[in-house]
Structure 1
Amino acid sequence: MRASSLFSLRNLGTAAWVLTLAACSSSSEEIYGEIRALGDFRGGIATWYDATGAGHCGYDASPNDMDVAAMNAPEFSNSAVCGSCAEVEGPQGTVRVRIVDSCPECASGHLDLSKQAFAKIAPINDGRVTTQWRLVSCAVQGPVRYRIKEGSSEWWVGIQVRNHRLPIQKFEYQKNGSWVEVKREPYNYFVASSGMGPGPVKVRITATDGQKLEDTLPEIKAEKTFDGAAQFSLQ
């Protein structure tokens, strides 16, 4: 368990996300440069904790990218929100954060921000402030990436999608000419309990707005990360 500040309300745990595709396709889908709004602003609160960039979503620590946050329990949705981004407006500023963790004790609308992110919207000593926030596209660089989980083999494999501009709704792989959907686990890996073979493996990911990307993973090898061929569009 990671260190937490006085103002954090949580420990690691499982939770459920109730943000729906309908919410992500509201009338406020505006484009701001390289950022696309994925829903309307809604009221909420923000606290802070001593984040590292790692957490329930299974990402590596990110010391050079500390504008991160944990999603409240009702909206974490079995890790479906992991890697998504949110724009948060506080009393003294605005910050865009990437969701890397869950906050099981936080109620709907509550974001637990990294200390660095919280400092951009309010004084650290405030600890807890009223905000409004909405989901937005992530300002990522380069193509999507695929991380093969430790312990994976041709007989059991976990794959995590990283560096995605839009939230991931579905992961599939091709078997005997047909697409097979892979279950997403609470720790943010898509796990094929019977494996996908040694590779190459053709995979397909679908964003919450319906966009699809297809890639071929050259092999299934534990702890390897492969770049995809493209990135989701803002349009």
Structure 2
Amino acid sequence: MASRSHRSPSGRRPTALASALAVAVAALVVALVLAFLPDRGSDADPTAATPAAGTQVTASPSAEKTPSKSASPSASASAGKSPSASATASASAAARKTPTRRAAATSAAHQAAAGAPLAGRIKPGVTYDGVATFYDVGNGDGACLYGPTSDTMTAAMNTADYETAKACGAYILVHSGGASVTVRITNECPAPCAPGQLDLSPQAFAKLADPTRGQIPITWSLLSPSTSDTISIRYKTGSSQYWCGIQAIGHRNPLARLEVRTGSGWLQLTREKFNYFLSEQGSGCGGDIRLTDIYGEQVQISGIGVKPDVVQSTRVQFAQH
């Protein structure tokens, strides 16, 4: 029979209690340590875990699209195909410092309108772009109905800038390739003539370029020429005291208004496309005439009778500008 152990049963109880206490203390220490460690849950990256063998690592889409903070601004801009902020600022500054030609032309037009309040599309002090062609002017007559002329320095104005005969009689200075010529508008150039286009007499075109070219780029502007001529008046064929058409000829500056004196004051007549001002009911026919140019200057003419198709001279002329 085996002998019993010399340790009594009561000796095992303290040992078990001590072990239990030790385990509890150790658990408490671990809990305290974990409690006081910094929280790393927000920095944890599941994709950073070591992959199992045979697993392909794929970069996160956000990692591809979001450059690191150390990436240079120029590199980021290149990747995104967007100009850098400095380049955009430079472009904006350049745009502010260098006005476009259209903006400059608009500003000039506003200034010209202030100096010529009655001007239409063609304003003094403004340079217009266009092309020049030429046509057979025949005896020199045209839509303005000035009649035959020996003056070869004439032109037809495109319909837009002709502006219902408002361009008739205007003197235009035309430039092309270092050459220039002054022409008087006596005709209208219908479509396909575009805004800005002038259809010159062959002689006027030849002063700018070889006629074999047919069409050339030009710039042009309104001119108030020096002249010793005075204005003339003509009544249209068929005019009488009951109906009349009145035309002014030889005015230095474009004509804005033609008025006739009636019993109730000055009556402004309507300008027709064929460059006559009509009094449909005969009001003022044979009476005093008042002309106003685009600058607002007025001249008054008396003693002009109703003589159809007769050019009657006056002693007046608009001032030069």
TM class, shorter-length: 0.7 to 0.9
Residue 214 (structure 1) aligned with residue 312 (structure 2): no
Of the candidates 57, 66, 83, which is equivalent to residue 152 of structure 2?
66
Residue 183 (structure 1) aligned with residue 270 (structure 2): yes
More helix by percentage: 2
Match of 1:144 in 2: 231
Of the candidates 57, 68, 81, which is equivalent to residue 144 of structure 2?
57
Q: Kindly report which structure 2 residues correspond to 1:192-207, keeping only aligned pairs within 5 A, or say none.
A: 192-196=279-283, 199=286, 201-207=287-293
Match of 2:210 in 1: 123
Q: d(CA) in 2 for partners of 1:140 and 1:153?
A: 32
Provide the alpha-carbon RMSD of the alignment.
2.0
Q: C-alpha deviations, 1:175-203, integer Å up to 9, x for none?
A: 1151100010110000101114663x111
Q: Kindly report which structure 2 residues correspond to 1:220-235, keeping only aligned pairs within 5 A, or say none.
A: 220-235=306-321
Deviation, 1:38, is 2.1
Q: Given the two structures, how large is their TM-score scaled by the length of structure 2? A: 0.60
Q: d(CA) in 1 for partners of 2:236 and 2:301?
A: 18
Unaligned runs of 5+ in 2: 1-107, 116-122
Deviation, 1:139, is 4.1
Deviation, 1:90, is 1.2
Match of 1:14 in 2: none
Residue 95 (structure 1) aligned with residue 181 (structure 2): yes
Q: d(CA) in 1 for partners of 2:179 and 2:232?
A: 32
Match of 2:81 in 1: none
Q: Which has the higher contact order (CA 8 A, sep 6+)?
A: 1
Of the candidates 220, 230, 233, which is equivalent to residue 133 of structure 1?
220
8 Å contact from structure 1 (residues 57, 79) kept in 2: yes
Match of 2:91 in 1: none
Structure 2 residue identity aligned to 1:47: T
Q: Kindly report which structure 2 residues correspond to 1:21-100, keeping only aligned pairs within 5 A, or say none.
A: 23=109, 26=112, 38-51=124-137, 52-63=139-150, 65-91=151-177, 93-100=179-186
Q: C-alpha deviations, 1:132-184, integer Å up to 9, x for none?
A: 11111244432111011111111111111000000000000111151100010
SS in 2 for 1:79: coil
Structure 2 residue identity aligned to 1:165: R
More strand by percentage: 1
Match of 2:248 in 1: 161
The structure having more radius of gyration, on CA atoms, is 2
Q: Given the two structures, how large is their TM-score scaled by the length of structure 1? A: 0.81
Match of 1:171 in 2: 258
Identity in percent = 35
Q: C-alpha deviations, 1:11-51, integer Å up to 9, x for none?
A: xxxxxxxxxxx949629x8xxxxxxx922222111000111
Instruction: Indicate how the Cα distance of structure 1 residues 102 and 25 shifts in structure 2: closer, same or farther if over 3 A, else same.
Output: farther
Unaligned runs of 5+ in 1: 1-21, 30-36
Q: d(CA) in 2 for partners of 1:24 and 1:48?
A: 31
SS in 1 for 2:203: helix
